[in-house]
Amino acid sequence: MRPSPIHISPPARQPCRFKQQDAPKRKALTKEQRDFLSSALRVNQSGELAATLIYSAQTPCSSRNTRTSDPMKHMYDQEEGHLKTFNAMLAKHRIRPSALYPLWQVMATGLGWGTAMMGREAAMACTEAVETEIGDHYNNQIRTLLEIISEWERDGYDVGDELKTFLSTLRRIRDEELEHLDHAVEHDAKKAEPHWLLTGAIRIGCRGAIWVSERV
Ligand SMILES: [Fe+2]
Ligand SMILES: [Fe+2]
């Protein structure tokens, strides 16, 4: 008796769970957008490094004053958190730090130490100036990122979690920088002598450092 042939039934057709048109449309970043993101991360890392060094150089002097030491520690801890965030993002995306990283280290330490030597009000005026510039700087980045995101959404592209997370991280850090600014003003930054010269010079220096770090 001949064995009966083996019949293999074709697999039952499973209904496709997603239609082709439901798959999220993704858009690649343009070169200009990639350059913007690399430069943004690089300059942010340098800025946060500078902030940690300014605060740590000021802390030995400010810590003698119990009125300012606890908030200074809190602000330093936040700056350290910001620096860790950008260090991790640079490592993840293989972006090089600013070539002038050692120069920023020296200048930030000098600025922190110098203003601390001038007194508590001068140290607070330094914070006021630096945080004003850094707050504007983060606002500019947030604005550019929102332009990219709204253009993609308008064209029906999926923005993805990475850009959205970057945007929310920038907003959180910007808000913390503005808290530092408020703290400095509440702690007599405006009483520094001469306030206009000190804050004006530091703000020009910050703008120059930001401009250079975005490029080098
Ligand atoms: Fe910061
Ligand atoms: Fe800050």
pLDDT tens-place string over residues 15-69: 445 444 566 788 888 888 889 999 999 999 999 999 999 999 988 654 445 555 6
Which backbone phi and psi does 26 adopt, to 5 degrees?
-110, 145
What is the whole-number distance in angstroms between the Cα of residue 124 and the centre of ligand 1? 15
Structure confidence at residue 10 as a pLDDT band (50, 70, 90): very low
Which ligand is in closest contact with the Cα of 84? 1
**CB 58, CB 148: distance < 8 Å:** no
Instruction: Kindly state the DSSP code that residue 158 receives in the 8-state scheme.
Output: B
Task: Please tell me the predicted confidence (pLDDT) of residue 72.
Answer: 80
The annotated binding site for Fe cation is made up of: 48, 79, 82, 131, 177, 180
Measured in Å, residue 201 CA sits from the centre of ligand 2 at 18
**pLDDT one-digit tens code per residue, 69-100:** 677 888 889 999 999 999 999 999 999 998 88
Ligand 2 midpoint to CA 18 (Å): 46
- For residue 83, report the distance from its CA to the centre of ligand 1, in Å: 7
CA distances from 76 to 26, 54, 82, 129, 177 (A): 39, 9, 10, 16, 11
Q: Which CATH number fits domain 30-215: 1.10.10, 2.40.160, 1.20.1260, 3.30.70?
A: 1.20.1260
- Pairwise CA distance, residues 119 & 187, whole Å: 12
Q: What percent of the chain has pLDDT over 90?
A: 56
Q: pLDDT band for position 197 (50/70/90)?
A: very high
Residue 58 near residue 123, CB atoms below 8 Å:
yes
Q: Which residue has the higher pLDDT, 17 or 193?
A: 193
Extended strands (E) in the chain: none
Distance CA 198, CA 179 (A): 20
Task: Tell me how far apart the alpha carbons of residues 148 and 146 are, in angstroms, rounded to a whole number.
Answer: 5
- Residue 82 alpha carbon to ligand 1 centre in Å: 5
Average pLDDT of the residues in 134-157: 92
Candidate ranges 4-18, 58-72, 196-210; pick with highest mean pLDDT: 196-210
Looking at the CA of 81, name the nearest ligand: 1
Instruction: Please state the pTM of the whole predicted model.
Output: 0.80
Measured in angstroms, how far is the CA atom of residue 145 from the centroid of ligand 2?
21
CA 213 to CA 114: how far, in whole Å?
22
Q: Which residues are annotated as a binding site?
A: 48, 79, 82, 131, 177, 180
pLDDT band at 136 (very low <50, low <70, confident <90, very high): very high
Distance of alpha carbon 56 from alpha carbon 35, whole angstroms = 32
Question: What is the CB neighbour count within 10 angstroms for residue 207?
Answer: 13
pLDDT value for 160: 84
pLDDT band at 130 (very low <50, low <70, confident <90, very high): very high
Q: Regarding predicted confidence, which is higher, 70 or 195? A: 195
* Ligand in nearest proximity to the CA of 130: 2
- Alpha carbon distance 36, 167 (integer Å): 14
**CA 129 to CA 102: how far, in whole Å?**
22
Centre of ligand 1 from the C-alpha of residue 89, in Å: 15
The kind and range of the H/E element at 56 are helix 31-62
Average pLDDT, the chain: 85
Residue 125 structure tokens: 């005026």
Annotated domain spans of the chain = 30-215
Distance 143 CA to ligand 1 centre (A): 18
2 has a pLDDT exceeding 60? no
